[in-house]
Structure 1
């Protein structure tokens, strides 16, 4: 497993320590989770932007969708 270093102010570091402890997580688990969540949000935002850019405006009601199923 790779090791990464994050530099932050002592105040920020203390906040991270306290939050991770409050959540019952190690600092590593908390940092990993937060980083992965940020990456997932970026992918989701890109997918949304693509969907908006390629949207043709056609919409279907729930009844139409259920009829197709």
Structure 2
């Protein structure tokens, strides 16, 4: 009987560990996604300007480098 309780304890521990890891990954995903919304907005504007032909490729790459760093 003691062996069954030990196995049940490990199953419960494993279940909670999996749930905690899933929660950590979900939280990290949302935190990372919302970390720098200004940079994302600026990069989108830069992409639009490049697509419209307002800036050339060299200028796009230079400005993108400053935004990403």
Asked if these proteins are the same fold (TM beyond 0.5), I'd say no
Structure with max Cα Rg: 2
* Structure with the largest fraction of helix: 2
Determine which structure has greater relative contact order: mean sequence separation of CA pairs < 8 Å that are 6+ residues apart, divided by chain length: 2
TM-score using structure 2 length: 0.45
TM-score using structure 1 length: 0.45
